[in-house]
Amino acid sequence: MAPATRMAIERKQESDKGNDVIEMDMLPNEIVNMCLAELSARDLLHMEMINHRLRDLVLQNNNLWKDKVKLRWGMQANNSLLEASSVLAGGWKNLYAQKHVSEKRNKPWVVPSDPEIEAILELVRGDSSLDRVGSPISLSPTSSVMSEMAPARGLKRGLTVLLLLDGSSSVTREDFDAMKSFTRKLIDNLRERRPDSAVGLIQFNQSPRTIIPICDISEDIPERVDKMQQLMGSTDIAAPIKTAHELLTEDGNFGGDAVVLLLSDGQTSTSELEASQREARSAAELMGVRLFAFGVGRDVDEMGLNRIAASTHIECEQLLDGTIIPERPGGAYLTLRRMERSML
């Protein structure tokens, strides 16, 4: 073969190699989605700008953004609320965007985004809408049982919420203000969404002080919350839980769903932590109380608060007389405001 011919053939082979490249537009959606799953959230946003097809694939692949959310925030305490929060946000991509903005705005503090706050409020109210999105937290384990008992008792209320606010010295002024802000938001939400509910408020340090006895929600309650001054002092978490149990027992109108919200940094001794677990367990067994512990503070004992909330989980049990006590998953630990661990 002549050298000139050989060179022409080699040039043709080199030029043909470029034709082996597969254009992305030639790939089926399944393959493109597999490629998109390997990209970062920032890269996905860039892919949206290339053409209509990629934009539609990025926007419509809800599982893609679900994976991104859980990869970035799945190990945080509010992970159990992500499913419900995504629905309230209008999709996983919107939830990612709102959590990202919230994280940047509040850094170095970890606080829930707006959809997560809404999910928490629904959780407290016991709304069944969260069940449809597979939230692993039980919303109202006692409400169905209690509602059957309500007509016989002539109940006036379907929901009673008791807030326990940590006013000890380990809580900063900003932390205490965050507790009061959440309390006002919850009360306003209950007035609008659950007008049949009642609220009570206890502030505690080494001893509990009943600020608002259990009562129907009135317009002056948020103002009373605003005027509340922090007590300061040391911390005893068991005492306010016991006081909450006593208030529920004494309340003649109680009989529906009972929810206790403990807002604290959890900084207490081991013996008092164990006593808190016993008090929470007793309230769950005798009154069907759901207890949610909210971490608020610079150095939150998340493990201790989680143990307190988990104490209200009642296993299914059959008594000697054949009576079956249904399982009541109880409450959970959630983050309201805490310092990033890397900053401690």
Q: Which tens digit of pLDDT belongs to each residue from 51-104?
A: 999 999 999 899 999 999 999 998 886 888 999 999 999 999 999 999 999 999
pLDDT band at 256 (very low <50, low <70, confident <90, very high): confident
Cα separation, 214 vs 338, in Å, equals 29
Cα separation, 166 vs 170, in Å, equals 9
Residue in the structure block whose two tokens are 């959590």: 99
| Confidence at residue 315, expressed as pLDDT on a 0 to 100 scale | 75
CB 73 within 8 A of CB 79: yes
Q: Which tens digit of pLDDT belongs to each residue from 265-300?
A: 999 999 999 999 999 999 998 888 999 999 999 999
Q: Which tens digit of pLDDT belongs to each residue from 312-325?
A: 987 776 667 777 76
Terminal-to-terminal C-alpha distance of the chain: 76
Six token digits for residue 10: 């080699």
Q: Which of 130, 125, 139, 117 is nearest to 185 (CA)?
A: 117
Cα separation, 334 vs 294, in Å, equals 5
Strand, helix or coil for residue 33? helix
Task: Give, as one character, the DSSP assignment of residue 313.
Answer: -
Which residues have C-beta within 8 Å of that of residue 295, sequence separation ≥ 6?
77, 264, 265, 266, 302, 305, 333, 334, 335, 336, 337, 338
pLDDT band at 13 (very low <50, low <70, confident <90, very high): low
- The answer to pTM > 0.85 is no
| Confidence at residue 57, expressed as pLDDT on a 0 to 100 scale | 92
Percent of the chain with pLDDT over 70: 81
pLDDT band at 9 (very low <50, low <70, confident <90, very high): low
Q: Which tens digit of pLDDT belongs to each residue from 105-133?
A: 999 999 999 999 999 999 999 874 444 33
Q: Which tens digit of pLDDT belongs to each residue from 33-54?
A: 999 999 999 999 999 998 999 9
Residue in the structure block whose two tokens are 């073969």: 1
SS3 labels along 192-252: HHCCCEEEEEEEECCCEEEEEEEEECCCCHHHHHHHCCCCCCCCCCHHHHHHHHHHHHHCC
**Beta strands, E only, the chain:** 109-110, 159-166, 197-204, 208-216, 257-264, 290-297, 317-318, 324-325, 333-339
Farthest-apart Cα atoms in the chain, separation: 108
**Ranges 63-67, 153-157, 223-227: which has the least confidence:** 153-157
Cα separation, 211 vs 65, in Å, equals 44
